[in-house]
A and B are shown apart, each in its own frame.
Chain A
Amino acid sequence: MTLGLPGIQSTLHPAGPQAQRILDLFDVFLIVTTVVFVIVVVLTVAAVVKGRRRREAIGEDTRGMKLAVGTGAVLTIAALITLLVTSVATGRAVGTFGGGNPDQMEIVVTGHQWWWEVTYPDPQASNTVRTANEIHIPTGQPILLRLATRDVIHSLWIPRLHGKRDLIPGRINKIYIQADAPGVFRAQCAEFCGLQHAHMSLVVIAQTPGDFMQWKIHQQAPANDPATPQQAHGRELFLDLPCINCHAVTGTDAYATLGPDLTHVASRKTLAAGTLINNHGNLAGWVSNAAAIKPGAQMPPIPMNGPELQDLLAYLENLK
């Protein structure tokens, strides 16, 4: 079925029960519509052949033809009813999946122009985990995602786990996802949201429950303190430069929420909402002039000379 197509963000490569159900439904539709297509094309070709051979048109609407067209209509209706019933059944199964479990794990996903804020709420505020552009989930259980937005309408789409759901101002939408096995699934914003809509993606990382707990406990810890003088100078720069206007690093004076939380930025796989691999060169380029990579990005260019940049990077790369 997958025909060797690339599967990184594909609806044809489901990795969880929700996407699997939808793909099964799609297959039913694909088979029925293909059959209809073949029948109608064959009929058209036959009619063209018949019509071209005829010397004189049959002017009357014959009983036979009426019967044929009537049968066609009845078969169409029957096919549609079949599809409707399967579709509603699947819709019900997908829509009610995961509900009714009181100690459901909840993740809040908030859309920003043009990145994703991901929060793991905890009754104890200090245990709340904030990260960005990465959703970590434990495998084998339904996870509730609450979807909100800070600005315009976005749409969260993780094709390998579920269909899309919009993030709408003033509303909280909910979907349940579940991954069957550990893996990394790319996701992307699917509702046009402005200049960098194309570069507003994220990754969903499914881990075994044990690995997930380990990750979460690590994320709950405050940021690493600088280990070298260079990193210490980097932190000074971070707190002095415009970085502090928008970003937060727990354990320091930086607690703004306009940009992604950087407490554990070095532990993430990507930068700039799934646009860049998180490595030294990319981080340097992004920090120096983000909008040169994503034109229109709201992070301003930071006034720094070369050594200052290296110190800042050393600090950021220590935020594991």
Chain B
Amino acid sequence: MTEERGQTEAAMEATWAPARGFLGWFTEVDHKRIGLRYIVTALCFFTLGGIEAAIMRLQLAGPERHVVGPDFYNQLFTVHGSTMMFLFAVPVMEGIAIYLVPLMVGTRNVAFPKLNAFGYFIYLFGGLFLYTMFFCGAGPDAGWFAYTPLSGPQFSPGKRIDTWSQMITYTELSALVVSVEITVTAFKQRAPGMSLNRVPLFVWSMVVTSFMIMFAMPAVMVDSGYLALDRLVATHFFNRPEGGDPIFYQHLFWFFGHPEVYIIFIPALGFISSIVTAFTKRKVFGYSVMVASLVFTGFMGFGLWVHHMFATGLPQLGQSFFTAASMMISIPTGVQIFCWIGTIWHGRLTIRTPMLYVLAFFFDFLIGGLTGVMLASVPINWQVHDTYFVVAHFHYVLIAGAVFPLFGALHFWFPKWTGRMYGEGLSRVAFWLVFIGFNLVFFPMHILGMIGMPRRVYTYQPQLGWGGLNQLATLGVLPLALGILLMFVNFALSRRRGAPAGPNPWDADTLEWSVSSPPPPYNYLHVPTVAGGHALWDAAPDQPVVVGMRTDHREVLVTKAVDAEPSHREELPSPSIWPFLVALTTGITLCGAIFYAWWFTMGTVLTAFALIGWFWPKREPLPEAS
């Protein structure tokens, strides 16, 4: 028996062997490695964005300071916002999903591994392009939503805004790619027995996120594409005198921009459900209500973009509708919070660092959510729109609502990813520094907004009396930055020296905890089966596995979308250089086009060649059908 198992393992090791060496880095298709790359790259961008924020806080620490000038300050806040939204928040959630979703549903890789690799490279090139231009003195400077006409050809000369609009195209392309993979993996590759009512809540949250990406991202790609056309070839989409409309830009942008917030926030809800389940040792209260809430949030997220535009003077009746919609969206989130509280109430709670971050989420996200209800009201919005009140609000929503759960998730899955435990003591110190620092930085901003401080000002005058609160906010950067640094140091140390974790250190319920840490390249020696909503807790002692899959090809089991009955086997591709090359040619097309229009044509031809290489039929015979 063990000998047979050993033989299978050896065969699987050989078939699913990861790409090695320098070239291997460019050809990798394993979802775990690519997922980790997303996470690490996104955390690097997070650090850069954080440094930019710290410089801005230094500039604002007192009235009329001269740390940076207006030109550089405008670049700083634009690059900070764009980095945090497009290069950190969305990709890091996607990276975790790419790593975890295939493991959680019990399959061996994502549905389209080569596309997955392509998505990562496109994202990386987009980020590198933005930062190369930023370091060359051409960072975008019209804010992360780049309203026309300020971002148009007349008021933003140079290549700054073109860089921004292409960076959007890159990262949205990558997000679309990931959303397609996650959706297909979650619907077609679940282990037998994992019918839709047994899918882990994290996978549900990623499915909802993916659908939102599919509908939201095209809007912003069109928007940034129109902007690029206005700027590069003199079209008139947003030029008022020739019949274009700057408000049209805002509608398109926020039709993406508001769902974007939920695209960042909904994965975090999934993290929380996973963490709460593991640390209360019981299923999350009200599974079907939780799923319904996620889906409802996903739909409603598209119905409230106009609350970003109340000050543009749209008709009263329409505004009331968007007020109602904006308030309604707090219902599903409220219900989820009540369900988690119920879970904790009836569970056997142990508090470790991931759970601390979840509790911090309850406390601080609540503040962000409630200020969100205030912002939904048209008259209040007229007063606080575009002030530091809004800055405080969305940092409470995005940091407390998404980054706190993310930090929790990083600690929670760290043993799975590295095979070692993080240092608990150090992580608690880091947690308290982050928690205190965050509130010190951002809470005073609510008051600053109420007493008149608009956002995106590079300085303010002494007689306005904003100096004290700004100084307090800047002081808070110290513990916050120190806490995050400590967290990274803890991860770096624990990766080498942490206690070995074993497969399931938390005694958690989902399938990824059934395999070794880190998981083998093929994830599961035999595709598992599932007997309940909590795969490991509900498993029978002799829970069957799927046998008969080939070990000499990269095969995955495809199952039916609803009840996950086995349907057929599908062969997945081996490592390949083509995704990298297609990403490279696409990158050349997009970068080149902003400097010289013919690059668009030349790049398209190059990309066509690269795609031919990608899809070139293989010579080897297909595996026999059985």
| A45-68 at interface with B (beta carbon < 8 Å) | 46-48, 50-52, 54-59, 61-62, 65-66, 68
Q: Which residues of B contact A91 (CB under 8 A)?
A: 316, 319-320, 323, 377-379
Partner of A29, one of B346, B377, B465: B377
Does any Cβ of A come within 8 Å of B262's Cβ? no
| B435-481 at interface with A (beta carbon < 8 Å) | 447, 450-452, 454-461, 463-466
Q: Which residues of A contact B598 (CB under 8 A)?
A: none
Q: Tell me if B313 and A29 are in contact (CB < 8 A).
A: no
- Judged by DSSP, the binding face of B is helix
- Closest residue to A149 on the B side, CB-wise? B149
Q: Tell me if B370 and A159 are in contact (CB < 8 A).
A: no
Q: Which residues of B contact A170 (CB under 8 A)?
A: 240-241, 245-246
Pick the interface stretch among B189-197, B383-391, B419-427. B383-391
Knowing A9-B464, A190-B385, A190-B386, say if A166 contacts B312 (CB, 8 Å).
yes
Q: Which residues of A contact B383 (CB under 8 A)?
A: 11, 19, 22, 26, 159, 163-164
Partner of A191, one of B280, B344, B376, B386: B386
Q: Scoring A residues 59 to 97 as 1 if CB is less than 8 Å from chain B, else 0, what string do you get?
A: 101100110110011001100100110011011101100
Does any Cβ of A come within 8 Å of B331's Cβ? yes
Q: Which residues of B contact A37 (CB under 8 A)?
A: 366-367, 370
Q: Tell me if B379 and A41 are in contact (CB < 8 A).
A: no
Partner of A83, one of B344, B377, B387: B377
Pick the interface stretch among B68-76, B213-221, B401-409, B498-506. B68-76
Q: Scoring A residues 3 to 17 as 1 if CB is less than 8 Å from chain B, else 0, what string do you get?
A: 001111111100000
Which of A33, A77, A166, A174 has the most chain B CB within a 10 Å cutoff?
A: A166
Q: Tell me if B458 and A8 are in contact (CB < 8 A).
A: no
Pick the interface stretch among B99-107, B332-340, B488-496, B617-625. B332-340
B142 to chain A, nearest CB (A): 7
Q: Tell me if B282 and A58 are in contact (CB < 8 A).
A: yes
B365 to chain A, nearest CB (A): 10
Q: Give the distance in Å from the alpha carbon of A290 to the alpha carbon of B363 in the complex.
A: 48
Partner of B387, one of A22, A55, A87, A190: A190
- Closest residue to A164 on the B side, CB-wise? B311
Does any Cβ of A come within 8 Å of B327's Cβ? yes
Knowing A25-B379, A44-B362, say if A151 contacts B149 (CB, 8 Å).
yes
Partner of A152, one of B150, B241, B285, B338: B150
Partner of B312, one of A9, A152, A168: A168
Q: Give the distance in Å from the alpha carbon of A250 to the alpha carbon of B466 in the complex.
A: 39
- Judged by DSSP, the binding face of A is mixed
Q: Give the distance in Å from the alpha carbon of A12 to the alpha carbon of B71 in the complex.
A: 32
Q: Which residues of B contact A173 (CB under 8 A)?
A: 312-313
Does any Cβ of A come within 8 Å of B247's Cβ? yes
Q: Give the distance in Å from the alpha carbon of A165 to the alpha carbon of B245 in the complex.
A: 18
Q: Which residues of B contact A196 (CB under 8 A)?
A: 70
Q: Tell me if B451 and A5 are in contact (CB < 8 A).
A: yes
Does any Cβ of A come within 8 Å of B342's Cβ? yes
Q: Tell me if A51 and B335 are in contact (CB < 8 A).
A: no
Which of B247, B349, B376 has the most chain A CB within a 10 Å cutoff?
A: B349
- Closest residue to B447 on the A side, CB-wise? A5
Q: Tell me if B451 and A189 are in contact (CB < 8 A).
A: no
Q: Tell me if B345 and A88 are in contact (CB < 8 A).
A: no
Does any Cβ of B come within 8 Å of A141's Cβ? no
Q: Give the distance in Å from the alpha carbon of A151 to the alpha carbon of B488 in the complex.
A: 46
Q: Which residues of A contact B363 (CB under 8 A)?
A: 41, 44
Does any Cβ of A come within 8 Å of B286's Cβ? yes
Q: Tell me if A94 and B334 are in contact (CB < 8 A).
A: no
Which of B344, B363, B379 has the most chain A CB within a 10 Å cutoff?
A: B379
Knowing A153-B147, A168-B312, A190-B385, say if A83 contacts B327 (CB, 8 Å).
yes
| B304-336 at interface with A (beta carbon < 8 Å) | 311-313, 316, 319-320, 323-324, 327-328, 330-331, 334-335
Q: Which residues of B contact A10 (CB under 8 A)?
A: 450-452
Q: Tell me if B341 and A44 are in contact (CB < 8 A).
A: yes
Partner of A59, one of B245, B283, B455: B283
Does any Cβ of B come within 8 Å of A287's Cβ? no
Partner of A41, one of B349, B366, B447, B455: B366
Q: Tell me if B70 and A296 are in contact (CB < 8 A).
A: yes
Does any Cβ of A come within 8 Å of B559's Cβ? no
Q: Give the distance in Å from the alpha carbon of A30 to the alpha carbon of B311 in the complex.
A: 21
A320 to chain B, nearest CB (A): 25
Knowing A52-B349, A54-B349, A197-B457, say if A21 contacts B367 (CB, 8 Å).
no
Q: Tell me if A48 and B349 are in contact (CB < 8 A).
A: yes
Q: Give the distance in Å from the alpha carbon of A7 to the alpha carbon of B466 in the complex.
A: 10
Q: Give the distance in Å from the alpha carbon of A216 to the alpha carbon of B370 in the complex.
A: 46
Q: Tell me if B373 and A29 are in contact (CB < 8 A).
A: yes
Q: Which residues of B contact A195 (CB under 8 A)?
A: 70-71, 74
Q: Tell me if B71 and A296 are in contact (CB < 8 A).
A: yes
Q: Tell me if A191 and B452 are in contact (CB < 8 A).
A: no
Q: Give the distance in Å from the alpha carbon of A193 to the alpha carbon of B70 in the complex.
A: 12
Knowing A22-B382, A80-B330, A155-B311, say if A69 contacts B342 (CB, 8 Å).
yes
In order of increasing CB-CB distance, the 6 nearest A-B pairs are: A163-B382, A6-B465, A51-B349, A9-B452, A198-B457, A170-B240
Jot down 28 A-B pairs with beta carbons below 8 A, ordered by A.
A5-B451, A8-B452, A11-B452, A12-B451, A22-B383, A25-B379, A25-B380, A29-B380, A30-B374, A37-B366, A51-B346, A51-B347, A52-B350, A59-B283, A62-B346, A69-B285, A69-B339, A80-B330, A84-B323, A91-B320, A155-B386, A166-B312, A170-B240, A188-B452, A193-B150, A195-B74, A197-B456, A198-B70
- Taking A171-B247, A296-B70 as given, write out 18 further A-B residue pairs in contact, using a Cβ cutoff of 8 Å, ordered by the A residue number: A5-B447, A12-B451, A25-B379, A29-B380, A44-B362, A54-B346, A54-B348, A69-B342, A87-B380, A152-B150, A164-B385, A166-B313, A190-B386, A192-B142, A194-B150, A197-B456, A275-B461, A295-B71
